[in-house]
């Protein structure tokens, strides 16, 4: 029997009648883009994070793009982020015309190292994007300290960390701006594309709202050049249903992580390390192994799907060679990409699934 790496359909099946009622309600409402369901979702998501405002977008990438534009990031500016992230973080910086500057990770948490951010700052630095990778918050207090000293905006890439906590505060409400993705396999997933920007700064919220919908204010008066980065009404309605389950789904992910931690305690692989400040929500459960490729092959032969997030850091992806960094520029991120392996992790995974995966890891 195969153990799948992700299973977004299981979540739909468990809420089928509620989701279908919400979708049919949108279909008969006649409003298909933005509208009351999206507005209600924005209020509910903002409240969940503890931010004053939330502005729904068409994807996590467009949320990052809007956040940077609202922070006045543009040509001539530099934005510091991590090489160990999904390429969208860097792409969003490039969409604004700014330059992405990378700083290596803390290998214990896989997140950007605040001391290395400090070293990457130049007079052109405008913002920092910490990524809460795999569902664990970056060291936000240290990052906020660096940002304060140098007058920089902090944009959280929380695409993998819905509901994660840093010293009791929820991500998305820690930096100046937070960005989330609702890609179907994220901890909170739409039935299509979606994203959201969170902030407690009313001016930034207003700017993001305007840029999301062609820079109009009021309608048909385009006071600045904007984008079509709007959320569909159907996704808003689906996300309202699913948001009510996010906390319990995160609890189930944390329980599965505990099972893996216990079952793999005596193995040769390194389990994820959780920082003292973290409430980790395990978007991914990522182990390190010196024999990662052999381990992966052995798991595949037993029907266990795994992932690698990511097989190369952004600066070594062919499309991003023009960032200007070669091999060796970020040795800690590069070493991680040779050893990391993401095991199956989702709320619907059973105890016996986890035991089967752990037994296969121990046997390889
Ligand atoms: C998924 C993801 C994004 C992009 O979100 P989309 O909704 O796919 O555009 C950005 N950053 C990180 C870290 C992600 O995991």
**What's the rounded mean pLDDT across residues 193-213?**
98
Which residue among 60, 62, 178 has the greatest number of ligand 1 atoms within 8 angstroms of its CB, and so is best to mutate? 60
pLDDT at 1 over 90: no
Q: How far apart are CA 204 and CA 215, in angstroms?
A: 13
pTM value is 0.98
- pLDDT tens readout for residues 227-266: 999 999 999 999 999 999 999 999 999 999 999 999 999 9
Q: Is the pLDDT of residue 215 over 90?
A: yes
Hey, whose CA ends up nearest to atom 7 of ligand 1? 60
* 335-344 mean pLDDT: 98
Q: What is the mean pLDDT of residues 7-26?
A: 97
Task: Please tell me the predicted confidence (pLDDT) of residue 147.
Answer: 98
Atom number of ligand 1 nearest to Cα 92: 10
What percent of the chain has pLDDT above 90?
A: 99
Rg (CA), the chain: 20
Find the 63 Cα to ligand 1 centroid distance in Å.
9
> What average pLDDT is seen over the chain?
98
CB 114 within 8 A of CB 139: yes
Say what the pLDDT of residue 77 is.
98
What is the dihedral sign for C-alpha 346, 347, 352, 355? positive
- Please report the atom of ligand 1 found closest to the CA of residue 183: 7
pLDDT tens figures, 343-362: 999 999 999 999 999 999 99
> Residue 193 belongs to what H/E stretch?
none
**Residue 323 pLDDT > 90:** yes
- H or E stretch including 170? strand 169-170
Distance (angstroms) between ligand 1 centre and the Cα of 146 equals 25
CA of 74 to the centre of ligand 1 (A): 21
Cα 3 to Cα 356: distance, rounded to the nearest angstrom:
9
H helix or E strand, kind and range, residue 55: strand 53-57
State both tokens at 95. 């969409």
Q: Which residues line ligand 1 (CB under 6 A)?
A: 59-61, 85-86, 88-89, 131, 157, 159-160, 181, 183, 195
Q: How confident is the model at residue 90 (pLDDT cuts 50, 70, 90)?
A: very high
Whether the per-residue pLDDT at 3 is higher than 90: the answer is yes
Position 166 scores a pLDDT of 98
| Closest among 234, 229, 200 to 36, alpha carbons compared | 234
CA of 197 to the centre of ligand 1 (A): 13
Tens-digit pLDDT profile for residues 283-306: 999 999 999 999 999 999 999 999
Count of CB atoms situated within 10 Å of the CB of 122? 10
Per-residue pLDDT for 152 more than 90? yes
- Asked if 195 and 60 count as a contact pair (C-beta separation under 8 A), the reply is yes
108: helix, coil or strand?
coil
Residue 48 CA, ligand 1 centroid: distance in Å: 20
Query: Are 285 and 342 in contact, with CB atoms under 8 Å apart?
Result: yes
């Amino acid at each position: 029997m195969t153990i799948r790496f992700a299973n977004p359909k299981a979540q739909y099946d468990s809420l089928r009648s509620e989701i279908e009622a919400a979708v049919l309600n949108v279909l008969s409402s006649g409003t298909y883009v933005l509208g009351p369901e999206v507005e209600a979702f924005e209020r509910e998501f903002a409240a969940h994070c503890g931010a004053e405002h939330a502005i729904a977008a068409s994807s996590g990438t467009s949320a990052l793009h809007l956040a940077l534009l609202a922070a006045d990031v543009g040509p001539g500016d530099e934005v510091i982020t991590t090489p160990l992230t999904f390429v969208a973080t860097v792409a969003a910086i490039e969409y604004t015309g700014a330059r992405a500057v990378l700083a290596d990770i803390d290998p214990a948490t896989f997140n950007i190292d605040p001391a290395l951010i400090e070293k990457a700052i130049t007079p052109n630095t405008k913002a920092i994007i910490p990524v809460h990778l795999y569902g664990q918050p970056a060291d936000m207090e240290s990052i906020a300290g660096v940002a304060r000293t140098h007058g920089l905006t902090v944009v959280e890439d929380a695409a993998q960390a819905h509901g994660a906590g840093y010293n009791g505060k929820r991500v998305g409400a820690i930096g100046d701006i937070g960005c989330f993705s609702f890609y179907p396999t994220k901890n909170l997933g739409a039935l299509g594309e979606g994203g959201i920007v969170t902030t407690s700064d009313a001016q930034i919220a207003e700017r993001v709202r305007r840029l999301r919908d062609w820079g109009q204010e009021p309608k048909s008066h385009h006071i600045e050049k904007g984008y079509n980065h709007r959320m569909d009404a159907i996704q808003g309605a689906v996300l309202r249903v699913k948001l009510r389950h996010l906390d319990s789904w995160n609890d189930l992910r944390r329980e599965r992580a505990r099972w893996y931690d216990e079952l793999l305690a005596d193995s040769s692989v390194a389990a994820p390390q959780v920082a003292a400040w973290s409430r980790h929500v395990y978007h991914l459960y990522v182990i390190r192994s010196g024999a990662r490729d052999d381990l992966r092959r052995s798991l595949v032969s037993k029907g266990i799907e795994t992932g690698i997030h990511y097989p190369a850091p952004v600066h070594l992806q062919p499309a991003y060679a023009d960032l200007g960094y070669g091999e060796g520029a970020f040795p800690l991120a590069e070493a991680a990409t040779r050893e990391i392996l993401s095991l199956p992790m989702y709320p619907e995974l059973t105890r016996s699934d986890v035991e089967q995966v752990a037994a296969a890891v121990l046997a390889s």
